[in-house]
Structure formats: structure tokens, C-alpha cells
Amino acid sequence: MKNHPNRFWLIVVLLGWAFDFLFWEKPVPGVNFFLYVSLTLGTGIYLLKRDGLRLAPRSNLLLLPIAFLSAMTFLRQEPMTTFLSIVMTLFLMGVFAIAYRSGQWINFSLLDYLLGYLRLFGSMLVRPLGFSAEVRKDQPSRREKRGSRVWSVVRGIVIALPVVAVFASLLSAADPIFELRFNEFINLFNLENLPEYIFRLVYILIFAYALAGTYLHAAQKSDEPPSAKPLVPAFLGFTEAAIVLGSVTALFAAFVVIQFQYFFGGQANINVEGYTYSEYARRGFGELVTVAFFSLLLLLGLGTMTKRQNETQRKIFSGFGVALVALVIVMLVSAFQRLALYEFAYGFSRLRTYTHMFMIWLGLLLAAVVVLEALRRERAIALTMVLAALGFVISLGMLNVDAFIVRQNVQREAQGGGSIAVQDRAELDAQYFLSLSDDAVPAMADAFFDPSLPMAAREKIGAVLVCKHHEGESDTRAIPWQAFHISRYLADLRYGAMETALASYTLILDQDRRVFVKTPGGQEFDCWGNAHWD
């Protein structure tokens, strides 16, 4: 990059402009995020390769999850999936820049991730200035000559502008046709939007500067080996740690023994204790998940801080850790069962689906942490945490949360409660489907044509489709190609294919401009969320 500094600066400024072109006043996210991630990564690899800097094979492994997660932003519209995909993409891109040449991100500890990001942010702030100073020092005469020429051009433009303005005003006064054409020329620049242009120019330059710092960091600082120091030096005595860990393990064991029948009694507990499904499912669910999460933090903290001076101490500590994790997993299974019962009674929602997936990955992470600690591979815990977070986000994208909710709730309605009689079992909550994204439209369309579903439920789903289609058509904003989204495209295809099937549904707009749908069965469905079902 030092050999061609002007080309380097031109490229990063063009990338800043590309950000403005893809995102300014565009509905986000769409295909624009995927395109920009691909553009910045491809450009960075090209610039570093031109300077003879090789991409480490292990760093290549990061490109696949980055591509997958960035693509999720235009394949899925569900908010949590999109948000986490963006966050995880940016995190992995940062790791890619930190370990571009070394490929040692696999061996990073928590301290390496922390210090690596601090160094990266520092490079984004100061390294471009240092790079410019080095270039001027290496090429003083050529830079001075070129700088003098540039400033001559700037001074000439500044002097010419008022002179041209004076003569243009005189010529405009002399001839109306020239005045018309001159005003048309001036209007091309739309000077009324000058503050907006200045703001956009400023953030383009800031973005270009930050990108320059990132590329320079990858070129100059990404070959540093992982730190050999732990995040926090061990300072806690083994006796103290063993008492803490042993006490918590004993407490968990007592809780599991006392509550064992209650944990897994299911329907029997509901009948014996007189609970409803919702009361049983919600009783202690949040607390059990919280206990599992803080148990992980406790295990990680004590594993980092505790001094283990001989093999016996290590085995005792590992034994407590295994026992603790085993008991926590029992609690997680109980919480999972309770959530399943709650979903059986009231159906799936986004939050319940997130929690389902989170508990699975939390349990896997707990098990992995205790195994790594027993094998004395504590440094690998950081990588395990990254992989668990990555797995959770990818799972949400692969699951297609909104479509999953529709399929599960429709299946639950078709089964009619199965073999278990549930007094407080709720009917299909089609109103909830109104809050789902276009991801859910194909699943709702399939359910609408499912003959096994009761007609009343099918009419509810048909009303939801009409409401959502009307909402989409009411949005008259132009969708530029930068905001293209697969989910929206597939939903539009389904709406077009169902036009005849939904023709018997009638849209009603009342005096308060509230929108209702009248179904073929004569029922009214409020598109704003208040049902009118008999």
C-alpha cells in the first residue's frame, strides 16, 4: 500500500461512497448488507495480496460463516435473526482483520479477543495518520511537487468562482434564454440540499478513514501471536474455591432431589397440585434458566481465578465442575419440558422459540466448558463460546423462526390437543401471525390449503394473509434494488398465486379507517389486532 498510496486512498474513499450508495435512505437490511460485506472483504484481500501479504489458511475458515450470516440479512426478515446475524458478521469481520496473517484466532483466549479489538479500534483512529506521515517521509520531493500542483488547482478554482459568477449574472440580465439555461444548470446541483450533501460527505470520509485503519491493521498487526497470559491471574486459593463450588453443588443437588418428582411429573403434577398448564409451565421457568446462565459464569470465573497446585486439587475441582454441570443440565431439561408444555397449551411465539434454542446451546456450552477444564484446555473455552454463539445465530437462521412458529401452531391446531385434555388450552392465535414478517407467508399459504386444518382456522389464516397483503400494498414507497429481499419476493409470489383463492374475502374500511376482513363464513377479522370471532 505504501507503493501506491494514492490508489489506496482512492479505493477506501470509493468504499465509503459505496456505503452511502447502498444504504442512504434505503430500507435496511436487504441485499445491500451482503453486497457491502463482500465488497469490503474482497477489496481488503486484494489490497493485502498486492502488497505480498498472505491470508492465513485458518483465517480463510472465517469467510464461510461471514458469507452465510451476511446472506441471512436478505433471506430472513425476522428481527432477532437479522440483528444477531449483523452483529455476528461484524464480530467475525473484526476477528478476520485481527488474525488475517497469523490465523491464530482459533487459539485466542478471552484476553486475546479483548486486546485484539482494543488494538483494532486504536488502529482505526490513528493508523491512517501514521501511514500518511510515513508516505510523506519516504517520498518527500514527489509529494511536495504533487501537493504544490494540487493547491494551485484549488486556488485557481477559488479565484475563478466569483469572477465567473459576476459575468454569469451580467449575461443572464442581458439575455432571458441564457438566464433560463443558466438557472437550469444551477438547479442540477440542488443547492437546497447542501447541508445533506455535506453531512453525507463527512460520514463517507469518516467511514473511509476507519476502513483504511482496518486494512492497515490487517497488513501491519495481524501477525501477532496469541497472548500467553490469562485474562485474570489466578489469585483465589483452592480451599476457598472448593468451598464455594462444593456449596453450590450441594445446594443444587438438594434442590434436584427435593423437586425431582415435580421436575418431571408433567401431567401428574398438574392433576395432583391443581395447576393449570400455564401455571405449571411458568412456575420457576425463568429462574431455572437464570440459574443455568449464572452457573456458567461461576464455573468460568472460578476456573480462571483458582490456584490448583497439584493433580489432586485439579481432579477435585473438575469433579465439582462435572457434578455442577450435570445438575444444571437436569434443571435445563426441566425448564425445557415446562416450556414445551406451555407451547402445547398456548402455541409458539418468537420469545419461546428463542428460549428453546438458547437453552440447547447453553447446555452444550456448559458441557463443553467442564470437559475443556478437565482436560486443561482452558484457552479453548473462548473459541467454544464463540462457536456456541455462532451456532445459536445460525440455528435461528436455518430454523426460519417465523415460518417455524406458523407451522408448529398450525400443526397443534390440526391435532386438536392430541391425547391429553387441556382445559385452558388456547385456540389458534391467528392475530399473532399479523406481527410476523414475510418469512411466515409461505408457511401460512401452505396452511391455508391444508385440508386437515379445521375450516375456522383456515379462514383465520386467510384473513391474516389478506391483511398482510393489504398492508404491503398500502406501502407506496419505492423499493430500490439495494433493498431487495428474498423473503419479500417469495411472499409476493405467494400472494399472486393466491389471488383467486382469497377473492371471497372482503376488505372493509370503517369510519375510523380501521381495516377489517370479512371471511366467506361471515366472520370479521380486525387487521389492527382485535379479533371479532364468535
Range name among 111-120, 159-168, 267-276 with the lowest pLDDT average = 267-276
Q: Check pLDDT > 90 for residue 64.
A: yes
48 and 161, same domain (yes or no) = yes
Q: What is the mean pLDDT of residues 367-388?
A: 85
Q: What is the mean pLDDT of residues 380-408?
A: 92
- 124 lies in some domain: yes
- 310 lies in some domain: yes
CA–CA separation, 472 vs 488, rounded Å?
10
- 82 lies in some domain: yes
Range name among 200-209, 215-224, 252-261 with the lowest pLDDT average = 252-261
Question: Strand, coil or helix: what is 523?
Answer: coil
- 333 lies in some domain: yes
3-state secondary structure 102-168: CCHHHHCCHHHHHHHHHHHHHHHHHHHHHHHHHHHHHCHHHHHHHHHHHHHHHHHHHHHHHHHHHHH
pLDDT at 43: 93
Range name among 84-93, 112-121, 129-138, 347-356 with the lowest pLDDT average = 129-138
Q: From 156, 187, 220, give the residue that closes a domain.
A: 220
- 280 lies in some domain: yes
pLDDT at 297: 83
- 425 lies in some domain: no
Measured from the Cβ of residue 92, the count of other Cβ atoms closer than 10 Å reads 21
CA–CA separation, 502 vs 495, rounded Å?
9
CA–CA separation, 346 vs 429, rounded Å?
8
- 414 lies in some domain: no
Q: What is the mean pLDDT of residues 69-81?
A: 93
Q: What is the mean pLDDT of residues 174-192?
A: 72
pLDDT at 477: 74
206 and 255, same domain (yes or no) = no
Radius of gyration of the chain from Cα atoms?
A: 31
pLDDT at 215: 92
Q: What is the mean pLDDT of residues 383-407?
A: 93
343 and 246, same domain (yes or no) = yes
Give the C-alpha distances (Å, rounded to integers) separating 394 from 67, 349, 399, 401, 422: 12, 19, 8, 11, 34
Q: Mean pLDDT in the chain?
A: 82
- Kindly report whether the global pTM for this prediction surpasses the value 0.95: no
Give per-residue pLDDT as tens, 459-501: 889 999 998 988 888 877 778 888 899 999 999 999 989 988 8
Of 358, 370, 243, 364, the residue nearest 300 (C-alpha)? 370
pLDDT at 263: 57
205 and 252, same domain (yes or no) = no
Domain that holds residue 482: 434-532
Q: What is the mean pLDDT of residues 444-451?
A: 90
pLDDT band at 79 (very low <50, low <70, confident <90, very high): very high
Q: What total of structural domains would you count in the chain?
A: 3
Strands 531-532 and 506-509 come out as unpaired
pLDDT at 422: 47
- 492 lies in some domain: yes
248 and 212, same domain (yes or no) = no
pLDDT band at 430 (very low <50, low <70, confident <90, very high): confident
Range name among 107-116, 398-407, 440-449 with the lowest pLDDT average = 107-116
pLDDT at 438: 92
pLDDT at 529: 63
Task: Tell me phi and psi for residue 518, to 5 degrees.
Answer: -100, 120
114 and 203, same domain (yes or no) = yes
263 and 125, same domain (yes or no) = no
Q: From 357, 377, 397, give the residue that closes a domain.
A: 377
pLDDT band at 445 (very low <50, low <70, confident <90, very high): very high
pLDDT at 286: 67
Give per-residue pLDDT as tens, 124-171: 999 888 887 777 776 655 554 555 565 566 667 767 767 777 777 778
Task: Tell me phi and psi for residue 235, to 5 degrees.
Answer: -135, -10
21 and 124, same domain (yes or no) = yes
58 and 137, same domain (yes or no) = yes
Q: From 190, 220, 250, give the residue that closes a domain.
A: 220
Give per-residue pLDDT as tens, 12-51: 999 999 999 999 888 768 899 999 999 999 999 999 998 8
Higher pLDDT, 101 or 267: 101
On the CB side of 485, CA atoms within 13 Å amount to 21
214 and 75, same domain (yes or no) = yes
pLDDT at 189: 62
200 and 242, same domain (yes or no) = no
127 and 176, same domain (yes or no) = yes
Q: Check pLDDT > 90 for residue 381.
A: no
